[in-house]
Amino acid sequence: MASLKDVKTKIDGVKKTQQITRAMNMVASAKLRSAQEKMESFKPYAEKFKTALQRIGGNTTSGSFPLMERREEVKNVEIVVVTSDRGLCGSFNANIISMAEKLMQSYEKEGKKVSFVCIGKKGAQYFRRTGKVRQRYPDIMSVKFQMDNARNIAQDIGENFTLGESDEVKVVYGQFVSMVKQEAVNVDLLPIKPEEPEQEESAEAGKVKGAYIFEPDPEEIMEVLLPLYLNVMVYNAMVQVGASEHAARMTAMDNATNACKDMIDYLTNIYNKARQAAITGELMDIVGGAEALK
């Protein structure tokens, strides 16, 4: 059995760890409020922007816009991986990386070449050893990123697609579902797909349908909206990851705090047993000495 001093030292160490995890939980909780507000305020805008763009795109010729051009043969696929810069948030980053890695493997089995654009340090560190990282943006998720950051990233992705270096672009990120659930998702980014006519036909019965009249022409509108669409989608992925990271860290630190509590209870039990054994031993010595003096 461990000595009393060793057990006491372990208990003190676990208590200090518990203080750290509790403090990290509180910090993550404070940061989550602002990140969640930003995410919730931007999400409806991103969804409506995507719907409007697809609807307008259905009234244009996709071949006239480079970002909507579908390649006859997809040879090069680019995967945009959005992770956090910091760890200690459970399996959040691992799930995103795992999904991106599975996508890479499936594309490579089909004979396609895969490249990565990594937003966030964790993804950049993992995929760096593959030698397939075309562009990396570390230390961007730990600061208060703005739309300008997303615009620079989107311009690089769009230019690479327009030059024919990539035939298809996917984005993988952590979607905020709830405080206790954040799931990795992958979304088609390029080429931008217009709304299909079948979607109009599958609308609910009795819903009013009609043709939209655009002013100016849909082509003129698309020239302005297409670059903005990339900015919106990249920024939406970043704010989703920002909120999901803090929620995942809150859960992880809460679990760690509870684990520390259980460990302290266990070590305290061992400490009490060791102390009781020491007291019993001393009493036996005293009783034995008293009997010897009789």
Residue 52: both structure tokens together: 């409007």
- The encoded tokens of residue 143 equal 């600061």
- Tell me the two tokens of residue 271: 């400490």
Q: Which helix (H) or strand (E) segment is 99 a member of? A: helix 92-109
Among the listed residues 68, 89, 226, 237, the single catalytic one is 89
Quickly list H helices, 110-217: 121-127, 147-162, 197-201
Side-chain half-sphere CA neighbours of 114 within 13 A: 22
| Residue of 186, 185, 183, 187 lying closest to 90 (CA atoms) | 183
118 counts as catalytic: no
Residues 124 and 135: beta-carbon distance below 8 Å: no
Location of structure tokens 């795992």? 98
* Pairing mode, strands 168-178 and 181-190: antiparallel
Dist. CA 239–CA 183, nearest whole Å? 14
**For residue 64, what are the contacts with CB-CB under 8 A and spacing of at least 6?**
219
Active site (catalytic) residues: 89
